[in-house]
Amino acid sequence: MTEERKAVRYREPREIKKIAVPCACAVVYAMVSFYLILPALNVFNSGFWGWLMSIIFVYLFFAVLFRSNGKSFDTKNAARAVKYPVYALLGIVVVLVIGGISSAKLFNARRFANRITVQTAAFETDMPETTNVDNIALMDTASASVIGNRTLGSLSEVVSQYVIGNTYSQINYRNTPKKVANLEYADFFKWFQNRSSGVPGLVMVDPLNNTAEYIRLEKPMKYAESAYFSKDLKRALRFAYPTKIFHKYYFEIDDEGNPYYIVSCKTPHAGLFGAMDVNEVILFNPCDGTSKLYALEDVPKWVDIVFDGDLASEKYNWYGTLSGGFWNSVFGNKNCKRATNDYGYVVLNDDVWYFTGVTSVNEDESNIGFILTNARTGEYKFYPVIGAEEYSAMHAAEGEVQEKGYVASFPSLINVGGQATYIMVLKDSGGLVKLYALVNVEKYSMVATGATQQDAMSAYRKLLERDGIKVANDENTFDTYVKVEDVRMIEIGGVPTIYITGEDGNVFKGNLNQDESFVTVRAGDRIKLRCEKTEINGVYNILSWTGKDIQEPEATVKTYTIE
């Protein structure tokens, strides 16, 4: 055997090693990084291509490293070894560039705009008139967190090991608005100590009564976002659905109180990455790790949130700005409109809807209407009601009690006597709800506040009637004649309130901010009151009152009893 053949024979194992070791390092990195990063193995996910690039970079690093002996570097062999990986990198860059260009709004304006269909509806006929405001959920996540944390803090055996999740989901639970959040492990050591027993329960907040309760589950949740390894929620979902592009996770409970994570999956509708929209939904049971994939039309009706509010607003902005083409959205702006910067919740027909105003692209302080978006089905309705945008209404409500320094939350929308009306809460610096406020959309200087939703509604109805808008009728009001036995004036949440007790024991209350003439009422006076039939804690809200020493007609019933 010649010396030359011997040299080639001895070099071959070294050459194989210089290729095999970098490949092995790249494979190990791919497995570890997939386990940690959990990218969707889907060509329509830009993160997938970034992950592939990182694997190639790892291979290149070790390929170059093993071509060096510490003193010299074999440039020729190194170039030959990294040639094809570099070609692969360039190919990925080409894919990303072409994919980005093909997905751009410049070339896909119609595809973006046509993701939704918007139905124009009449507000006063399509949205039922609100006669009872006790079923309107106005509490935001920050306030729910304050109340929920206080409830959890009273449970020593739970609070030492768990915390409440960061997100409270707005749901309609058995036809009642609720906010729910699951418990999470406080840290890694708490998970390690409790991994066999799991997460024992959840917190449900009642946004109507500003109360919360801890609900212990019959079967604890073994999967959570704060768990580790195979019990990590996102890892369990990724290994079960490696190709799905997950959008958002929402925690909900069904009508029987069983917990689920609602996981929306998305896919592009313009080019490789553009116009991402929800196309499927996974229902994941955190108690046993089972799951089921649903098409949008097959999602169970108890599920409330499939499309999140941010996506709902973004899709409307596509529709509002790109329907006339891309260049019109940049220069002409003809008929361009957009959703305002936040959203509230409205519960209609056992479904949760997002509410947000619609304004011009110039972002002025008025709305040309508003939209409702069904959080489960993605249906859109547009109501052409011109008036103040939400933040102007919030400032108007804050100005009504400016000496208190209260801050308004983003409002919801109701129909009062055919009038589009914002309703919101006013919170103190600690995030607790102190007052409720109603603001007329078209005349946002018309503001009413109250310590309860019912008080605020009563005050608002008075304002409307003084403006010539009749909102009360025989179905929800009654007249009564009262001989006053006692009068008391107190302040509730910064609102001066008068309580009138009749000789028959019935109690009525009125808002002095809305009618100062109440201060003239004295014990022994005979007055006529117009009140709401709905009473709270045995107290009726006064809509209006008439004079003193009024003689009661014989046919008039003195008191009113709820059937």
Query: What is the model's pLDDT at position 563?
Result: 36
Task: Sort 29 into a burial class: Cβ within 10 Å, 0-12 / 13-18 / 19+.
Answer: middle
Domain range list for the chain: 3-102, 136-306, 390-466, 477-546
Q: pTM for the whole thing?
A: 0.83
Q: At what angle do helices 3-37 and 46-65 cross, to 10 degrees?
A: 150
The two tokens of residue 400 are: 């009504």
Q: How many CB atoms lie within 10 A of CB 43?
A: 13
pLDDT reported for residue 224:
96
Among 358, 252, 350, which residue's Cα sits nearest to residue 301? 350
Per-residue pLDDT at 555: 36
- pLDDT attached to residue 204: 94
Q: What is the pLDDT of residue 556?
A: 40
> Hey, what amino acid is at 302?
W
Q: Chunked in runs of 10, what are the mean pLDDT values of the chain (563 residues)?
A: 51 66 93 96 96 95 71 60 87 95 96 96 82 68 84 80 90 89 94 94 87 92 96 97 96 95 97 96 97 96 95 96 94 90 86 91 80 95 91 92 90 88 89 88 90 83 80 72 91 82 90 82 89 77 73 42 36
Instruction: Output the pLDDT for position 16.
Output: 67
- Homologous superfamily in CATH for domain 477-546: Nucleic acid-binding proteins (2.40.50.140)
Phi first, then psi: what are they for 74, rounded to 5°? Answer: -85, 90
Structural contact between residues 382 and 120, judged by C-beta atoms closer than 8 angstroms: yes
DSSP state, residue 360: E
For residue 314, give the 3-state DSSP assignment.
helix
Residue 249 pairs with which residues in a beta bridge? 263
